[in-house]
A and B are shown apart, each in its own frame.
Chain A
Amino acid sequence: MNYETIGISVLWIFLYGYLIVASIDFGAGFFSYYSFITGRKHLVHNIIERYLSPVWEVTNVFLIFFMVGIIGFFPDTAYYYGTALLIPGSVAIILLALRGSYYAFSNYGSKDNKFYMLIYGATGLLIPASLSTVLTISEGGFIMEKNGKVLFLYGDLFRSPYSWAVVLLAIVSVLYISSMFLTYYAAKARDNKALEVVRGYALGWSMPTILCSLLVFFAINGHNPQHFGRMVDLSWMFAASFLCFLIAIFLVWKRRGYGWAFLFVMLQFAFAFFGYGASHLPYILYPYITLYHNFTSDTMALSLIIAFIAGLLLLIPSLALLMKLFLFDASYVQGKSSKKG
């Protein structure tokens, strides 16, 4: 395998990791706020807090990792995306900043502050929407290079049906992934009341998710037919994704195998996400940046890959410890173990 393929695969895996952990996080923040204002906080809040508290910082790192990695492997992305994304990027930063800090304020500082919780909950849905515009832009048609200057066509982005389909899918799937995870976590905690609530959310958001996925699929055809063609070539991956979706929903519907159900949700998104990514290649930003024309030097690529492997050797055991202590520790999950200091 050449450096380019290794590089983009590493980055795509990290983006997928972010997609899963951030969705759980963003959705949970929203559900937490929603249950608070609808007076059902006592039912689900504990579950959400127990899972989220030790991991919120880790979620953020996945995103930074992807950002730094893509600039390292494909330095031209900094130039094109950097110039074009000033406004959507800044908006995303502000939302992330508000969400991260108000999470800490409401969890460690002033508990049950309505304003803090509103900021935390509402930004959870806006962030996926603003981040997903990057994927939209990568399809081409929204960036123009003129007289050596990069121009971003805001109007076209706002008028594009494809761009709205992606935003819709981002929001809906965040709620779906998150509620599927919380269903699993509530079942593990043997908290039946919470389970009933979050299971309802999960089933409720399943249909919209699949409908929005179909919408995006066809919107790509309208926006970038070439890409759509390559997606059709990989149609088995999207079929596999749909099959995983059916299994996950079936299990939750039958009230059994919640752990397996969440695993199939992860597979559902893995197939769709990697199918989308593979068909997007060789373009990183259509038509300006490809995998091969704007790659970093071989020396840097090699040292990044070595650093990446060394980093993983450190990260995987650490993450395993984190999961062992908080995700797979029965007494912690059930809330019997001691709380924070």
Chain B
Amino acid sequence: MHYDPVLYSRMLTELTLAFHIIFATIGVGVPLMIALAEWTAIKRNDPYYSLMARRWARGFVITVAVGVVTGTAIGLQLSLLWPSFMRIAGQAIALPLFLETFAFFFEAIFLGIYLYTWDRFKKPMMHFLLLIPVVIGSSASAFFITTVNAFMNTPQGFKLQNGIITDIQPLVAMFNPATPTKVAHVLASSYMTSAFILAAIAAFSLLKKKDTLYHRKALKLTMTAALVFSLSTALVGDLSGKFLAKYQPEKLAAAEWHFETSENAPLVLGGFLTKDNEIKYGLKIPYALSILAHGSPTAEVQGLNETPVKERPPLYVHYIFDMMVSIGIFLTLLGFIYLWAQRRAHKNHGRYPRWLLRLITWSGPLAMLGIECGWVYAEVGRQPWILRGFMKTTEGATTSTHVDTMLVLFCFLYILLGLTVIKVLGKLFKNNDVQEELIARGIEGGEA
């Protein structure tokens, strides 16, 4: 392949982010789930939930480590791969970047304390309180870093003339139009994904090891949380659509292959595009795009033809957008199905149908796939801009001559880390049997 630093810089950034997002999502969502479990344990005086928090925390540390190091990687890579962009960004949005490290600092300190103070305090409440700064820290760092990404989508709070940036207003840059929906969507979907991942583990255990009280309690807690968070994710997703229609119409139009500006716009599911931009085999839902964009079935939606050809995002984002939305809808439905099954399970000695457990086992990886799709759509959908309306991606990249070699090196790194994480977590899972631990800790019974 011809050496092109821009292409390789994009590939390396995509690779690092795609890998980091897995661990970042877990890092934001799982502390909240651990907190829910510990809170339930204290409120109901039920040691099962306290064991749940302990076991989740044990696996969580491994993912945090990888999250921290890949986060460091992307932090440094921003300057290494996009020096011209960071020259501008460094002046306009240094504040949220700076605050993010504080949030991370806060989280790191209290996570360290939390992990090493099980049984150290007489009151269980003290240990629970240590978790609050961890939850606040992890969600706050997601908040700050997402404002940076929001800024790249709807930059404001500065002036750029001939490469010189003036009139900087840090707070205006931080609280740009994209911030509210982006932050809300990122937080809700992270909580949702983490809940589904933990639910998947519980469902998997129920499938493998017959029926245990511990895993049924875990399934109930995680699936209830997952339903609440998937409903909020869907709600915010709808608001995000309205945001796009107003501020980044080309992104929404590319996702929906909506070329001509028109009223009563339909939403297209699936299908493919011919060379003349005609949609074949797509499922059209009448008026749905108008509703998504403006909340009214007859509203006018701006088409892609209004955007100059050179400023249009690639059209394959349609498939990615569809995938994200379908996964979201499927998972929300799954949450309701679980509710229904749970009511029936009461009469059925607490047993769940195996097909449902199988579906829930798949929900964890699916939710993560949804996260990846969402980010690819958000990022590719704003191409060719790195700062929409201000700087093209090609102008922000490094001119260095070794990006391809670095890409290969990082590929090896992430493969190695990924495989070791799977191995280590698998071992942790196998070596610590719940029943044995329930008995060892004197939590009565075990088998229920």
Contacts and interface: CB of A to CB of B under 8 A. Distances in A.
Nearest to A109: B424
B113 A325 contact: yes
B425 to A, nearest CB: 8
A319 B62 contact: no
A118 B406 CA distance: 23
Contacts of B100: 68
Interface of A: 53-58, 60-61, 63-65, 67-69, 71-73, 75-76, 78-83, 85-87, 89-90, 92-94, 96-105, 108-110, 149-150, 152, 296-297, 299-300, 303-304, 307-308, 311, 314-315, 318-319, 321-322, 325-326, 337-341
Contacts, number: 229
B69 A86 contact: no
B356 interface: no
B52 to A, nearest CB: 12
Contacts of A92: 76
Contacts of B70: 97
A79 B90 CA distance: 10
30 contacts: A53-B115, A57-B68, A60-B69, A61-B108, A64-B75, A67-B75, A75-B86, A75-B88, A85-B80, A87-B406, A93-B77, A96-B72, A97-B70, A97-B73, A100-B65, A101-B66, A104-B65, A105-B65, A105-B421, A105-B424, A297-B166, A299-B168, A300-B170, A307-B95, A311-B105, A318-B105, A325-B117, A338-B118, A338-B119, A341-B54
A340 B112 CA distance: 10
B390 to A, nearest CB: 15
Given A82-B86, A93-B77, A307-B99, 10 more contacts: A71-B86, A75-B87, A75-B90, A83-B83, A86-B81, A92-B76, A96-B73, A110-B427, A297-B168, A338-B117
A297 B171 CA distance: 14
A296 B166 CA distance: 10
Contact of A104 (B62, B91, B166): B62
Given A90-B406, A304-B94, A314-B106, A105 B420 contact: yes
A335 to B, nearest CB: 12
A322 B111 CA distance: 10
B113 A54 contact: yes
A281 B403 CA distance: 32
Contacts of A93: 72-73, 76-77
B90 A78 contact: yes
Contacts of B416: 98
A101 B116 CA distance: 19
B371 to A, nearest CB: 21
Contacts of A105: 62, 65, 420-421, 424
A294 B80 CA distance: 19
B108 A68 contact: no
Contact of A300 (B91, B99, B101, B120): B91
A71 B76 contact: no
Contacts of B298: none
A68 to B, nearest CB: 5
A103 B77 CA distance: 22
Nearest to A106: B424
Interface in B95-131: 95, 97-102, 104-106, 108-113, 115-120
Contacts of B333: none
Interface centre among B111, B116, B416 (most CB of A within 10 A): B116
B94 A64 contact: no
Contacts of B68: 57, 60, 100
Nearest to A58: B108
B359 interface: no
A79 B83 contact: yes
Contacts of B402: 86-87
Contact of B58 (A61, A82, A341): A341
B443 interface: no
A87 B402 CA distance: 7
The 4 A-B residue pairs whose C-beta atoms are closest, nearest first, are A72-B94, A104-B65, A75-B90, A82-B83
B279 to A, nearest CB: 43
A124 B106 CA distance: 25
B62 A109 contact: yes
Contacts of A103: 65
